[in-house]
Amino acid sequence: MNQQLSEGQVRATCRELLRGGGRLSGRQLRLELRQRFGAVGKTERIFSIWREEAARARPAPAPATGDVAQWERRLAESESRAAALQARAELAEYREQAHQERWALEIDRLRQRLQAQEGREAELRHLRDRVLELSRELMAARAGRAGHNDVEAD
């Protein structure tokens, strides 16, 4: 018959065995579950619960050597350095933003000058064309007049 172990049963067994001291293996846990409840449960589920409980049972690491005052001093120094680095980063960000804005304005100004220059160039081309046209008309008029003078001289 398929008997399912509750999570509470598995956790309670893990905690009890871990309190007993020594190293507890997954195999030992499953053996204990079989003896107590007549079932071992699914391996993946049991081992997952076992790892969680084993992690909780480990004592938090104590600070290395030194007293609390030394750790507090080091913490204060670290916080001070972090604040200085934060201020430095903010200043660098402000400078970068100002730099970007300055060059954006300069680029815009140059674009406007270029557009004005292009307008002047179009006007200059138009004037050159008009001068050429008038020069041709003048030459034609002179040629016509010279031809008219040649006819009168004959």
Residues 6+ apart with CB under 8 A from 11: 49, 53
pLDDT tens sequence across 127-145: 999 999 999 999 999 988 8
**Among candidate residues 53, 54, 52, 39, the one with its CA nearest the CA of residue 6:** 39
The whole-model pTM stands at 0.37
Give the span between the Cα atoms of 16 and 9, in whole angstroms: 11
| Average pLDDT rounded to a whole number, residues 81-91 | 95
